[in-house]
Amino acid sequence: MAYFPRIGPFYDPQNEQQLYGGQDGRLRSKGAEAKLVNGLSHGVDQTTSSHSRHFDGSWTNIVQDGGNLFYSEPSSRSESAYHSRQASYQSMTSHHSRQASYQSTGSHQSSSSDSPRQQFHRQSSQNSNYSNNSHRSSSSHRSSHGVSPIVDSYSHGVRQSPRETGTRQADQGYAYAARNSLDHGGAVVASNKPVVKPASGNSVTSNNSYGQSGKRKSVIMVPNTANVSDISRSHGVELCEKLFGIKLCHHKHKPPRPNGVNVDHSLRDRKIIVQGVVENTDADHCGNINRGDMLVGLNDLDLTWVNMDDMLRQAASMPQVKLTFQSPVVIGPKSSTPPPVPPHIPLHHRCTPPPRPPPPGSWSETRLDLVATTTGESRPVVMDSIGHYLVAVMYLTMAGQSENSKVDVVYQFPHEDNKLVELRGLCLTLAGMLPDVTSNTAKMTCVQYRGRNNNIVYWKGEQDVWLLALPEESVPAFYVHNIFSDLIQVVQVLYGSVQRAFHDRELHSKLDDLVTLTLYRVLQPGVHTQTVPYCSPLEPVLVDCLSGIRWLRLAADDKISCDEILNEFEAQDFCDIEGIDQDERRKYGVLGSCLFYQEYVLCSHLCPADLKDVHLYLKYHHILALVARQPVDDLVLWEEVYPTHLCHARGPDIPGYREPRARWFLLVVSMRHFLLCTLLEAGSYAAPVKGQAPMFQFLTDQSRDTLAQLDLDDTDIELQCSERLFSVQSGPCLVSINSEKQAYLSGNVSQTTATPSPRKVSEDADRVSISTSIHTPNVAPDRLSVHTPNGAPLIHRQGSRISFGSNDSSGSMHSLNKIQVKTPLKTASESESVNRSFSRENGRINCDIKLTRGLHNQLLHYMTYDSFEGVLVSPSPHDLSAVQASPTHKHVLYNFYASSLRIRETFANRLSKTRNTDARSEGQCGALMEEGVMFTCQLGPGADTKRPPTVGRYWVIGRHMPEGHEMYVCLEDGSPQSLLELAFSCWFGLT
């Protein structure tokens, strides 16, 4: 079983009373200590921080008055010019949040101490006061306490809004706070660049404080060498805990993997993350080191896992050590609509994004971030690259049409007019008229402009038409349909309906992003966006058209680990949950979550329809490509979604059960190449949310911690993933067309006399896999032109799937995983064939077959797709890029993808046709279909120029299984039929 570090204990029953009130049942809170009073004399209230229990200070009372709770404090404290409510982030060591520096101070009130200042909100209270929150630029809190930890806070310009200095009407203040907090709904910002803004006090042009980067903070500490017995022998993590009282996420050094994956490399990139602080140590007292912070420096030197041991040992002998931490950035989403006042105020400020005034022009700023961040290029560059093509996305309305004006254009991209925009009247007319002619609405129009074809696809609403026009030479017609239907789904999932998305002008900038990224992705497949070069320009197109999700199949143990990590997260049974109010603990119900590594799904606890929604959302916002390209740590997305199967394509109600009326939210948190996507529900068993829902900060933090668990110790998932992706493995071994066919049998090839049934062969293949791989290590690899440097035939599987609904089905999981642990199909099964498939000469009977390793290899390329189980490509593009495939083979691959695309189109058309014609027999719409094409090519003249050039023949065969499973195989002509069947039944072994 996997090892799961316990994160805690944070719940302290002894101190519960301190927090949850006295005998009178009233809530009590503790005032801040003088030691935390900073130079700017901001009073800091540790309102509900569990940390506050460590201080012995005066208790302030919460006064209950008419259903509202007020917070009063001693008059001595009210003398300070600012009454601030500390967001308690700094002191929340026990709460393992890794939130950015949300230090929001209360409004500076000059009123008397008994003014209502802090409201402790219950769900029912509506007419409440709420103290305004603002960001406070906190500079150098200096504490006079004990060993005097010095805190340098490098937080970026936090200023108070002018409104805060204005009228102190609590209701207004609340409304403002609420609005600001809502302004974070729905935007994506991810950045590593710190943007330092000048602190300008009460300036009018105040801006959000925490925006762009993780806050760096330094703490000067005195190493407590008394605890350490043997410095030279202690481990870094251990040392850190003993010297400073900082518990780090434990990471065990692993022995180097036999396959040579660079462990050091992964170590170097791994963050050192604070797991917690030991109570009553300097670190605890200073209150500035939080769970989730990254320890990045020691005495201004970079600290990594590699040098940690040495540096900490040195530090032990120093009188004073400066530790630098970085807290991760959380960027809240933004919303465009002015939100209605939510029904209740969150009790804990840190559960909501800090309010920030909406600065003018902030839209363009966020937009720029989305496009620039995900593509890695600036927006003009992206727009420029799209601008080379004649493309258009238009949303037109038939209402209020008039000549020579553009009132019919609701939305248009690109914003400059082009030829296609001029033609919009044509499309409107066709969309409106064709039902009269053909009783269907228009689907696609092909127009020719300057000798180039352009395909325009339609979506038609009652009064409106949405058009997407793409050049045919870059995007084949079939692909356009796919893109468009996906795009429609993304828009529906994000905005509820297409009409709403386009008619709401506020959403246009978000649509711009979506459209820009979509066009950027489809017009340049595999050019900039992929880390792995595709072996053929059409491969991404085909993979895209298959609309499957690519799974990365982990070994059973790792898979279980992932599942359990997600399970724990989904259960919302967090050990530090006592830190927050009961009503806030499970504010949302978790419908499920899924975990992506780069572009691949590792495990998913979402239902397939939801997973598809999430996948499309990530794909069309270029986020998958982003995490595939580079590690991303600071990405947090929060969107309200309208899941397809709940909102758009509701199935028939199951008797006795109805889907709840609720609202759904999607939370995406990234860590390195991982993405954790959680689908949340508000309204069924969770509290209903009205208006714009703020990001649930607590869950965000938990997501981060969940992701951090992946990176620990025994569950080193990332290493496993990269191993899966990039190391040499066996799958169906494939050859290049040029490989000279020469029949000689290697020593261990045993001829069997019977031709087994395909299914049986695949099972046999699995069973014999290990022994054969031992027997035939790199046998005579020189026949194969796909070589590893050491000559071993290179193959591997790239994506596959396992999806198990929940951990409850672990029994079946084991049984399913039984055959595929780490050795997926190392088959070298030989059998005698009845006859060669499609062979013109029938005479040859006794031919040996090998699906994989060996000499007489005839399987060239392989691809499988299942609507549920995802896509598998073998050999992976990475394999092919690692070796220099011959030009002929490149052509073969190109043709493979091109013809697979057309075969796929045939399947799709036939399926839709049968579905249309006999709707009554719905069950059997997916019949078994197979289509094959044989290509001939001239192989190189070879050494002997006198001989006529040999002609190579190869088949591309696609098969559609009734269950919606599709496979595409490329094999040499004359391959035995049983090889083909083996290839098609490979799928059984791979799942």
Report the C-alpha gap between 693 and 665 in whole angstroms. Answer: 9
Terminal-residue alpha carbon distance, the chain: 22
- Binds other proteins by CB under 8 A, chosen from 618, 898, 983, 986: 898
Check residue 980 for interaction with other proteins (CB under 8 A): yes
Using CB under 8 A as the binding rule, whether residue 950 contacts other proteins is answered as no
Question: Closest CB to other proteins among 193 and 920?
Answer: 920
Q: Which of 59, 82, 154, 838 binds other proteins (CB under 8 A)?
A: 838
Check binding of 398 to other proteins (CB under 8 A).
Answer: no
293: which 2 tokens? Answer: 């912070």
Residue 107 or 899: the one with the smaller Cβ distance to other proteins is 899
Q: Is 401 in the site for other proteins (CB under 8 A)?
A: no
Task: Give min distance, CB of 442 to other proteins, in A.
Answer: 5
Output the six-digit token pair for 725. 């992706």
Rule CB under 8 A: say whether 648 interacts with other proteins: no
Residue 461 touching other proteins (CB under 8 A): no
Name which of residues 543 to 602 contact other proteins (CB under 8 A): none
Establish if 446 lies at the interface with other proteins (CB under 8 A): yes
Q: What residues are paired with 963 via a beta bridge?
A: none
Query: CB 890 → other proteins: shortest distance, Å?
Result: 9
- Which one of 406, 909, 941, 963 is in contact with other proteins (CB under 8 A)? 909
Binding flag, residue 443, other proteins (CB under 8 A)? yes
For residues 244 and 223, the answer to whether their CB atoms sit within 8 Å is yes
Chain centre distance of CA 169: 42
Burial bucket for residue 845 (CB in 10 Å: 0-12, 13-18, 19+): exposed
Among 199, 383, 430, 609, binds other proteins (CB under 8 A): 430
Cβ 800 to other proteins, closest distance in Å?
A: 27
Sign of CA dihedral 411, 413, 418, 419: negative
Smallest gap from Cβ 930 to other proteins, in A, equals: 4
Q: Long-range contacts made by residues 394-397, C-beta under 8 angstroms, separation at least 24?
A: 394/420, 394/421, 394/424, 394/427, 394/465, 394/466, 394/467, 394/469, 395/464, 395/465, 395/466, 395/467, 395/502, 396/424, 396/427, 396/428, 396/464, 396/465, 396/466, 396/467, 397/463, 397/464, 397/465
The tokens describing 70, both together, are: 């007020």
The window from 234-242, 649-657, 875-883, 889-897 that contacts other proteins (CB under 8 A) reads 889-897
Q: Which residue's CB is nearer to other proteins, number 535 or number 611? A: 535
Q: Does 894 bind other proteins (CB under 8 A)?
A: yes
* Residue 650 found at the interface with other proteins (CB under 8 A): no
Which residues of 818-941 form beta strands (DSSP E)? 859-866, 870-874, 929-938
* Spatial CA neighbour of 820 closest among 808, 802, 833: 802
| Least distance (Å) between residue 962 CB and other proteins | 9
Taking alpha carbons only, the member of 160, 100, 154, 108 closest to residue 131 is 108
Cα–Cα distances (Å) from 459 to 402, 437, 489, in that order, read 21, 18, 12
Provide, rounded to whole angstroms, the least separation between the CB of residue 97 and other proteins: 52
Nearer to other proteins, 783 or 836 (CB): 836
Please say which residue, 81 or 426, places its beta carbon nearer to other proteins.
426
Burial letters 492-507, b for 16+ CB under 10 A, else e: bbbbeebbebbbeeeb
Q: In terms of DSSP bridges, do strands 663-671 and 321-327 run parallel, antiparallel, or are they unpaired?
A: unpaired
Q: Judge if the upstream peptide bond of residue 359 is cis by omega within 30 degrees of 0.
A: no
Contact predicate 731/874, CB 8 Å: yes
Judged by CB under 8 A, does residue 406 bind other proteins?
Answer: no
Rank residues 775 and 910 by Cβ distance to other proteins and give the closer one.
910
Binding range to other proteins, per CB under 8 A, among 54-62, 109-117, 766-774, 923-931:
923-931
Give the nearer residue to other proteins in terms of CB position, either 51 or 889: 889
Q: Using alpha carbons, select from 605, 551, 878, 560 the residue that is nearest to residue 717.
A: 560
- Restricted to residues 90-109, the positions that interact with other proteins (CB under 8 A) are none
Pair 523, 389: CB distance under 8 Å: yes
Pairing status of strand 294-298 against strand 301-302: antiparallel
Report the distance separating Cα 810 and Cα 406, nearest Å: 59
Q: Is 934 in the site for other proteins (CB under 8 A)?
A: yes
Residue 838 CB, nearest approach to other proteins (Å): 4
**Considering beta carbons, is residue 318 or 434 the nearer one to other proteins?**
434
Of 419, 650, 814, 818, the residue at the interface with other proteins (CB under 8 A) is 419
Binding flag, residue 945, other proteins (CB under 8 A): no
Report if residue 408 touches other proteins, rule: CB under 8 A: no
Please tell me whether residue 440 binds other proteins under the rule CB under 8 A: yes
Told to check if 74 binds other proteins by CB under 8 A, we report: no
User: Which of 235, 890 has the CB closer to other proteins?
Assistant: 890
Q: Report whether 856 contacts 739 (CB < 8 A).
A: no
Among 26, 257, 505, 953, binds other proteins (CB under 8 A): 953
Which amino acid is it at 551? W
Does the footprint of other proteins cover residue 845 (CB under 8 A)?
no
648 DSSP 8-state letter: I
725/957 with CB nearer other proteins: 957
Binding residue (CB under 8 A) for other proteins from 6, 193, 658, 840:
840
Strand partners, 409: 396
Exactly one of 448, 742, 753, 790 binds other proteins (CB under 8 A); that residue is: 448
Q: 454 in helix, strand or coil?
A: strand
Q: Which of 126, 169, 320, 429 binds other proteins (CB under 8 A)?
A: 429
CB nearer to other proteins: give 193 or 840: 840
**680 CB contacts (<8 Å, ≥6 apart)?**
588, 589, 590, 591, 664, 665, 666, 667, 686, 696, 699
Q: By C-beta, is 352 or 837 nearer to other proteins?
A: 837
910 binds other proteins (CB under 8 A): yes
> Residues 273-302 vs other proteins: string with x where CB under 8 A?
------------------------------
Nearer to other proteins, 23 or 916 (CB): 916
Closer residue to other proteins in complex, CB, 190/957:
957
Stretch of 50-58, 292-300, 410-418, 440-448 lying at the interface with other proteins (CB under 8 A): 440-448
* 436 touching other proteins, by CB under 8 A: yes
Q: Under DSSP, is residue 733 helix (H, G, I), strand (E, B) or coil?
A: coil
Contact range with other proteins by CB under 8 A, out of 141-149, 632-640, 705-713, 837-845: 837-845
Sequence-distant (6+) residues with CB within 8 A of 819 are 766, 989
**Site membership for other proteins, residue 842 (CB under 8 A):** yes
Window contacting other proteins (CB under 8 A); options: 185-193, 674-682, 799-807, 928-936: 928-936
Residue 825, by phi and psi: left (phi above 0), alpha (psi -120 to 50) or beta?
Answer: left
Instruction: Enter the tokens of residue 646.
Output: 């709940």
State the number of binding residues for other proteins (CB under 8 A): 58
Given 114, 422, 573, 740, the residue binding other proteins (CB under 8 A): 422
CB of 871 to other proteins, least distance (A): 23
Is residue 525 within 8 A of residue 541, CB to CB? The reply is: yes
Interface residue list for other proteins (CB under 8 A): 419, 422-423, 425-426, 429-430, 433-434, 436-438, 440-450, 453, 835-840, 842, 891-892, 894-895, 898-899, 902, 905-906, 909-910, 913, 916, 927-937, 953, 977, 980
